[in-house]
Amino acid sequence: MNTLVVGSGIAGLTAALHAHEAGRAVTIVTKAALGDGCTGFAQGGVAGVYGPQDSAAQHASDTLIAGAGLSDAAAVDVLVAEGAMRIAELIARGVAFDRSADGELLLGREAAHSHARIVHAGGDATGAAISRALVAAVRRTSIEVVEDAFLIDLIVRDGAVRGIRLLIDGSTADLAADAVILATGGAGHLYAHTTNPAGTTGDGIAAALRAGAEVADLEFVQFHPTILAAGPAFLISEAVRGEGATLIDDAGRRFTFDVHPDGELAPRDVVSRAIARQATAQGSPVRLDATTIGASALAQRFPTIDRVTRERGFDWAREPIPVTPAAHYLMGGVVTDLDGRTSLPGLFAVGEVARTGVHGANRLASNSLLEGAVFGARAAAALGSPRASDRPLPAETIPLNLANTASFRDGNERGPFSRVALQQVMWDEVGLLRTDDSLADALDTIRAWRAGATAAHTVADHEDVNLLLLADATASAALARTESVGAHYRSADRIEAPQLETV
């Protein structure tokens, strides 16, 4: 059986390795170099359950609370039950998670976790360590790797996915397969400010939508609260707040307790909105004060952040640094069952491209690498039965309806299409706070741009087509969900979204 894995983050590499180890012929197709993508940028770590005080039940409970009642409990149970096995597998594949002098795994704390349970590597370079180990593991096998190959579309025949169409070096190429595992990540570049690396343009979700696969929960976009507000978006891990850093306004006051008893460790959406409101009120970015952690502890625990903040002119051991939210993670995506099967026979989805139901309306920190590993392995195990998923979506899920143009008012005040203009519309109007008006305005603009779109030839053209489709789908989903829940926040008043300062 020939399996194509599209994407090479933790989910795709795990799926590919498991499929190969089960004796299947596997080809990994990836947009850039093997291992490029979001996984390598992950700082925080992987949520596990260690020590007598913690339990899988508490990890599940934290995940469900973060998900604001919209997580799928069965998917969460799978995640926490199989998480330890997948972390052990990562260790066996060569990931050196940080340990104490006596060899115990060091556990970090992040927002909305009831326990310190985040394993990390290289301090704040967890994703890079995982990516290196999994890429090396793949390189030791006979798995075929096709790099710099852009996914144009899924090939669907007789109602089933039979392969993929690629753009390689300016030419199209079709690859046939018995099963395709999408592991193409999210769509952070829908937004003007994002933690995601270039290339995160939602290509897999867009291809799945065009092929007719079920997609849901696109209204749930997670904004990470703390990106350095100076220079190109750079994440300051939540683990820094987990170690005691505080968020202060321009008078030096901790303002997050005004909105949540957990203060800086409240759920991400709460902290992000509090930062946005405060920054707008004071007319300048709020600051993250990590000075109490100490210079040597900061350098040792967060070597990457220590280096980058210093490169940008800040001594964070001595002065608070400016921070602002940015788009970080998409909770929605291609709907799957507990084994990565989608609504299309032959098509699986794993990692951020998938909507497994684990994250509900808001992902718990450090659950995403875990989800990629757990569901990547499960999808590989399910390749023998690539039938369509028959798992129904929960009643609270609002079906995506792109045909609904009720809000389309046929106007566009934003001028001609450019990717930057689209990203600004999404940031301003489909971002941290959404109003009826902002969403309707966004749809006007996006649909006018879509109507004027011309044929795609280059990778950038195809990415633009995908971003426009996903922008439409995201704004439509956000408009359809009239209540605020989790990361989707409907506000009565429009407030200005904070803009990152760029160098």
Site residues (vs ligand SIN, CB under 6 A): 43-44, 237-239, 365-366, 368
The residue among 239 and 382 lying less far from ligand SIN, judged by its C-beta, is 239
Supply the DSSP string of 287-313, one letter for each residue.
EEE-GGG-HHHHHHH-HHHHHHHHHTT
CB closer to ligand SIN out of 230 and 245: 245
Minimum CB distance to ligand SIN, residue 236 (Å): 8
Residue number with CB closer to ligand SIN (64 or 344): 64
Q: Nearest residue by C-beta to ligand SIN?
A: 44
Q: How far is the CB of 366 from ligand SIN (least distance, A)?
A: 4
Contacts of 29 (CB under 8 A, 6+ apart): 4, 5, 6, 7, 146, 149, 151, 164, 166, 175
Distance CA 413, CA 138 (A): 49
Q: Which is nearer to ligand SIN, 8 or 366 (CB)?
A: 366
Q: Which helix (H) or strand (E) holds 282?
A: helix 268-282
User: Any catalytic annotation for residue 157?
Assistant: no
**Angle at CA 85, nearest 5°, toward 83 and 86?**
65
User: What is the spatial distance between Cα 43 and Cα 48, in angstroms, rounded to a whole number?
Assistant: 15
Nearer to ligand SIN (CB atom), residue 7 or residue 372: 372
DSSP state of 113: -
| β-sheet bridge partners, residue 173 | 166
d(CA 352, CA 333): 7
CA-CA-CA-CA torsion sign (295, 300, 303, 305)? negative
CA atoms within 13 A on the CB side of 293: 25
In three-state form (DSSP H/G/I as H, E/B as E, the rest C), the secondary structure along 324-383 is EEEEEEECCEEECCCCCECCCCCEEECHHHEECCCCCCCCCCCCHHHHHHHHHHHHHHCC
Which residue is catalytic, options 109, 268, 277, 363? 268
Instruction: Specify the residue, 39 or 412, whose C-beta has the smaller distance to ligand SIN.
Output: 39
Minimum CB separation of residue 189 from ligand SIN in Å reads 17
Other Cβ atoms closer than 10 A to 92: 10
Per the listing, tokens 């937004």 go with: 191
**What minimum distance in Å lies between the beta carbon of 43 and ligand SIN?**
4
Classify residue 182 by its DSSP letter. E
Which residues, 6 or more positions from 85, have their beta carbon under 8 angstroms from its beta carbon? Answer: none
Give buried/exposed letters for 387-405 (b at 16+ CB in 10 A, else e).
Answer: ebbebebeeebbebeeeee
Least separation in angstroms between CB 354 and ligand SIN:
16
Q: Which is nearer to ligand SIN, 177 or 365 (CB)?
A: 365
Instruction: Compute the radius of gyration of the chain from its Cα atoms.
Output: 21
Q: Give the residue numbers marked as catalytic.
A: 268
